[in-house]
Structure 1
Amino acid sequence: MGIADPHPFTRYEFFEALEESRSAVPRQGWQPLHLTLEHNGNIDGILPLYLKAHSQGEYVFDHAWADALERAGGRYYPKLQSAVPFTPVTGHRLLVAQTADTHATRAALLNGGAAAVAESGCSSLHITFPKEDEWRAAETHGYLLRTDRQFHWENKGYGTFDHFLAELSSSKRKNLRKERAAVRDAGITFDWLTGSDITEAHWDKFFGFYMDTGNRKWGKPYLTRDFFSRIGQSMAEQILLIFARRGPEVIAGALNLFGEGVLFGRHWGASEYVPFLHFETCYYQAIDFAIAQKLSKVEAGAQGEHKLLRGYAPVATYSAHFIAHEGLRRAVANYLEAEREAVADNITELSAAAPFKKTD
């Protein structure tokens, strides 16, 4: 959809909110060190880059690599990370201006990133969740290739949620209807809030949900309250807050962003347990919104094989890694070759178990 519908997580406003809100800053182990390529006074390309002293908030796990190098007497940290902090969403990492040559600019950014490893004294550079073509380009510049998988829902031109359900097998269709009915019978209704409808009071409520979930899942939520105000002020037109209510009381919420024809689910939380409320708020309401807005896809975040039975299919995700230490590089290269095969096999197996009707 182009410039009029930008990818929300590679907008300047999103990175600014992360850094100005003190969410992605040196104190949290994310020191901004963005690599820019300039030509005749113009910025032709940007590689979003952070100097890191840990491997938290990345969703591509390299702790075993760090342990191996340090056991061998080396030093893994600091390292360089090209990523959208705390965001396991595929998008461009080699950001190229419209007026620049894409191939040449990507090559310069990849070479510049590799040079930055040596110049900064870091062990490595990790580019996480790039587009597949960027990932393949990285290999030609000495980067090791890694894959993983997520679960995404694809809109095949559905007019309604029931139209989508009609493509599922009878038993799976019945199960989804049962889950949705259980939430409805519990007296839960939903609000979709976008743009100027989102107020600071809504952010206050959502932040409470976010903090509760974050404290229980990983011990220390990454994002500050100020971050949510900042994205609400600068990019509200690409934000969807889904609130679950019982009467006047909001009991759960999910934060989504959308752009490039895709709805990206990010965070959720609830003040009480209601059976199937998580599935309804994060997955089924997201599908409803995507159908209503004619979006092509819903990306529901990292991990979660439970999404498969709810119509979300396994897809590959990518990362590229430049490792300076020759011994570690050889070991990781061998490991990644086997891991890529295992991920591909896993995606094939999961796809065969998808809930859709079987066709000859």
Structure 2
Amino acid sequence: MSRRSCLLACLLLIAGAVSASPAKLFRQGNRAYAEKRFDDAINAYMEAAAVMPESVEIYYNLGNAQYRANVPEEAMASYEYAASMAETDAMRSRSWYNLGNCMVKAAEGLREADPQAAVSYFRQAAWFYRLALDYDHNYSNAAYNLEMTQLIAAGIEQQISDEEERAKQENELFAYIREKLEEFITRQGQLLETSDTGESQRILERETLELAVFMQESGLSVDIDLPDGTKRAGPLKDPFEHTAEAADAMARPDQPAALAELIAALGAVPEDPNQQDSESDEDSEDQEDYDMDYEESDEEADMYEAADPFGDFSEYEEIRGVPPPNQTEMDILAEEIRNQERRKEKRSGEYKAVEKDW
């Protein structure tokens, strides 16, 4: 069931229990919103919408309250409904604009856990800002947010690219270390079988020590400081320690201990990080994108891609937020009168050719 269908179903359930006029409920919602009691505002607006589902202003303000209550998914449905019902370009523009802001809020919540999904949401936000500009070419906030979402999305994509390159380099490093350790294990096993502690053992000792130094110089064998003040072991910490112990055992010489340490070092080397990344990518593909029912032509895609700003995105201003409700009880009463007149005209037109309708 779509977001819009769910919203309408909820309102139908509420409608039977509502007795106050929509104008009064609307006024209560505005008062609660002004006092930052967003849950109360949501309840009042939903009750008003149950009585007067044709009101664009009610759904628009309901979306504002849901956005401020940090339920952007619900706000998306309200703004989409308001945009679809709006009779003026100004209301359509502001509904699409606020829907873009909801996408930004959803994207911000995913930046750490799923950067690729965050990029998708930022790109969708940009699309809604373009829609807002289509209906109001002078909407400066929409133009500003369009540029900022493109900029932020480009920055996250660059971070993803950098992380993929880092993972690739680490994987190549780990593959080299695994290859050397496998070679050392074979050679140490042969030396153990022949009890050879001479020159061949000393050469292997030197090469094993050089590999341990190589791990240390990579910077991946030390603890990593985390933002919360804790530490996490570097991916090569255990392989380095076991390899260094193997070199010490060879120097004594203690061939069985050296072989055991080499085997332990090989087992501690991380697996291919790109393999793990690919599994994560498959999971992220299952993320359901917002259904916009929109197909962008190749020409439009090229135009928007060329317009994307790529620069220093390390510092940027916040996305400009949702404007507060600015409708009054007089606005909604006037709309109620207009809707009643339209319904009367519709009914008279439908029954015009029928003498009796019972």
- Does the TM-score normalized on the shorter chain lie above 0.5? no
TM-score in terms of structure 2 length: 0.24
Between Structure 1 and Structure 2, the one with more helix by share is 2
TM-score in terms of structure 1 length: 0.23
Greater RCO (CA < 8 Å, at least 6 residues apart): 1
